[in-house]
């Protein structure tokens, strides 16, 4: 059974600092890995999707890396802003339909 772990569970940084969020998974036989942002009352928003054959994906200030063999992914958010405060979830896909989620890292960016 796939286990997805996100450490730390919570993170507080001053505005402008770079954020580093970690995700690890136990079964490396994955199709892809997806990072989501969760805001209270607004559901989940997909940030980045990395296919199993890729090493990284970038979108604006966000960069996600994937090391499938070691079962790890890292989400980097450059020059954090108060608007980046949210919970960030990673999820890995093994079968066509099933996503296995981590519990998330709750980020607070202090102005």
Partner 1 sequence: DADVTQTPRNRITKTGKRIMLECSQTKGHDRMYWYRQDPGLGLRLIYYSFDVKDINKGEISDGYSVSRQAQAKFSLSLESAIPNQTALYFCATSALGHYEQYFGPGTRLTVT
Strand ordering across the sheet containing 4-7: 4-7, 19-25, 72-77, 62-67, 56-59
* Residue written as token pair 């969020």: 21
What is the four-CA torsion angle of 109, 58, 53, 100, rounded to 10 degrees?
30
The interface region with partner 1, picked from 12-20, 59-67, 78-86, 90-98 by CB under 8 A, is: 90-98
Binder of partner 1 out of 43, 60, 69, 83 (CB under 8 A): 43
Q: How far apart are CA 54 and CA 84, in angstroms?
A: 25
Per CB under 8 A, 24 contacts partner 1: no
Per CB under 8 A, 75 contacts partner 1: no
Per CB under 8 A, 97 contacts partner 1: yes
Binder of partner 1 out of 22, 24, 28, 32 (CB under 8 A): 32
Angle at 5 between CA 24 and CA 30, to 5 degrees: 50
Binder of partner 1 out of 21, 30, 86, 89 (CB under 8 A): 89
Contacts to partner 1 by CB under 8 A: 4, 9, 31-32, 34, 36, 41-46, 49, 89, 91, 93, 97-104
């Amino acid at each position: 059974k796939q286990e997805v772990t996100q450490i730390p569970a919570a993170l507080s940084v001053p505005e402008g600092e770079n954020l580093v969020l970690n995700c690890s998974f136990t079964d490396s036989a994955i199709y892809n890995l997806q990072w989501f942002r969760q805001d209270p009352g607004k559901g989940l928003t997909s940030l980045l999707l990395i296919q199993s054959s890729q090493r990284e994906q970038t979108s604006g200030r966000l960069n996600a890396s994937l090391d499938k063999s070691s079962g790890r992914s890292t989400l980097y958010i450059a020059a954090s802003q108060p608007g980046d405060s949210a919970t960030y979830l990673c999820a890995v896909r093994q079968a066509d339909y099933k996503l296995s989620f981590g519990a998330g890292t709750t980020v607070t960016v202090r102005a």
